Amino acid sequence: MKSGFKLLFIPSVILLGFNLFIYWGLSNLSAELQLQRLDSMKTFTGQVQTAFENILQVRLSNGLGDEAFSQENIQQIARSLNADIQFFEPSGERKSTELFGNSHSKVLWINIPLSAQFSQKGYGLRAAYSELLPMIDPETWTLYGTIVFLIGSILLLFWLSFLNRQQNKSWKEISSSINEPRKLRSLNTSGMATNIATIFAEKAEQNESKYQDLRLELEDNKKQLLQAKRSIQSIKNEHNKLLQAPRLKSGFLSRMGDEITVPMKSVSNMLKLLSEFNLAHEPKEILGIAIRSQQQLSSNIQNILDFSKLDAGLLKLLPAEFEIDVLIQELIRELTPHAESKQLKIEWSLNDRVPMSCVGDRQRIYQILFNLAANAIRFTKEGQIGIYVDSLYDRGKQYIRYTVKDTGIGLPKEAIETLFDSLEPHTKLTNSSFAGRIKLIVSRQLTELMGGKIGVSSEVGEGSRFWFTVLYKAPN
């Protein structure tokens, strides 16, 4: 409605101004014609007055008297002036002419004043002034203009009402067809509504084109999304396979480990039985070498199997109550033949604060100690190997600390940082081996699994000191 009013406002003001202009023009024309009428009457009366006074003056000076104004003379004078005349003599007689009769629409009889010398004698004069110009008085012009203004205003209101209805109808049609470009172009509208309908139609066509483009793009995106989902599912499947691979590998190694360890235990038992016999020196020495090789082979196999299980997260601890001193003595008995073969001494001690027994995975603690002590024996040419046990507290918790000390070749500082987690073939260790690094990595992982830490302090040529802690759990 507001937009329709704005569209109709300008033509309405123009029509109203046109009516006012006509009213003003008619008023000015009426005043101008009135002035012309007055000027014409003044000229006419002057001509009639001058003509009669001249004739009267001549006639009276010649002594003709009233005879100068016979009916014929009046007729002659009227024709010369082109006007009907009524002449009054002193005797009261009136002489008139009827040259035009009722040929004019309006005749105005004007009393024409004569000079004193004639009016005092009783002469009088009237002339009929015919309005040759179509004269309308100002009141008539005002009335006419008012009527025209009212009629124009009424027509204007009807016209505005009609245009408003048409405009509303056009807007309703445009609103109902806003999303149908073809229907918008076929609408029977006019004026600005047509332009707006055309603009809406073009916009709707552009929007429809954009919609089609977006729909095609959306379909392409859906296809790409479907392909991406398939790719993701494929990657997940591969990922699951990769996750399952270590478990499968560990399961395989675990089953193979049973197949390997059972014969190895049989070999170990047989070798121990042979060592109980009273053999000659040379066979006994050969038997000792076989026993040490079997122990080293069993240790390496166990570490490889444990490394695979730890990597797959399948290794589980088996906590049980055990006596710490018994564990250390058993370890010393197994390591002594190795140390004696290199003329090395082994010493051990338990601090007085160390409990006699605890709860933990005895086999894994023994395995860590054996790995560290075996490496110490391997890289020590002379001197001794020490195994020490003490107790410490950290943040309110008690830990059992196991320490293995040697007088071997020592370690460079740059090699200590990656000593417990690197299997790189090229390291800062000059005498390192794959089996030795496996032992250290397995030892670190087992220590962390039991809630402890592992570390080393060493200097080149001064030996090394390896230690690890295990969270203490008291027996029930």
230-251 confidence digits (pLDDT tens) = 889 888 888 887 777 666 666 6
In a domain, 180, yes or no: no
Mean residue pLDDT of the chain comes to: 77
- Please give the DSSP secondary-structure letter assigned to residue 352: T
Maximum average pLDDT range among 55-69, 219-233, 425-439: 219-233
Q: For the residues 204-210, what does the mean pLDDT come to?
A: 74
pLDDT band at 23 (very low <50, low <70, confident <90, very high): low
Host H or E run for residue 200: helix 192-275
Q: Is 263 helix (H, G, I), strand (E, B) or coil?
A: helix
> Is residue 46 included in any domain, yes or no?
yes
Which amino acid does the sequence have at 332?
A: I
Q: Report DSSP state, residue 100.
A: S
Q: For residue 40, is it within any domain?
A: yes
- Identify the helix (H) or strand (E) that includes residue 109: strand 107-111
| Domain count within the chain | 2
β 84-88/94-96 pair status: antiparallel
Which of 112, 139, 166 corresponds to the end of one domain?
139
394 falls within a domain: yes
Across 375-407, b (16+ Cβ under 10 Å) vs e yields: bbbbbbeeeebbbbbbbeeeeeebbbbbbbbbb
* Domain assignment present for 58: yes
Question: Is residue 192 scored above 60 in pLDDT?
Answer: no
Q: pLDDT of 360-369, one tens digit each? A: 999 999 999 9
Task: Kindly state whether residue 308 falls inside one of the protein's structural domains.
Answer: no
Last residue of one domain, picked from the residues 139, 154, 173: 139
Q: Looking at the predicted structure, is the pLDDT value of residue 347 above 90?
A: yes
Q: How far apart are CA 9 and CA 21, in angstroms?
A: 18
Q: Which residues pair with 357 in a beta bridge?
A: 323
Give the domain range for residue 461.
316-471
- Between CA 339 and CA 404 the distance in angstroms is 14
Q: Which amino acid is at 13?
A: V
For the ranges 54-58, 63-67, 213-217, 275-279, the lowest mean pLDDT is seen at 63-67
Average the pLDDT over each of 175-189, 305-319, 457-471 and give the range with the smallest value.
175-189
> Higher confidence at residue 96 or residue 44?
44
The CATH number of the domain where 436 resides is what?
Answer: 3.30.565.10
Whether 273 is covered by a domain: the verdict is no
User: Does residue 216 form part of some domain?
Assistant: no
Question: Of 82, 116, 139, which residue sits at a domain end?
Answer: 139
Cα–Cα distance measured from residue 90 to residue 433, given in angstroms and rounded to the nearest whole number: 173
Tell me the H-state helices in 62-137: 71-81, 116-119
pLDDT digits (tens, 9 = 90+) for 80-117: 777 777 777 676 666 666 665 544 445 677 777 777 76
pTM greater than the 0.75 cutoff: no
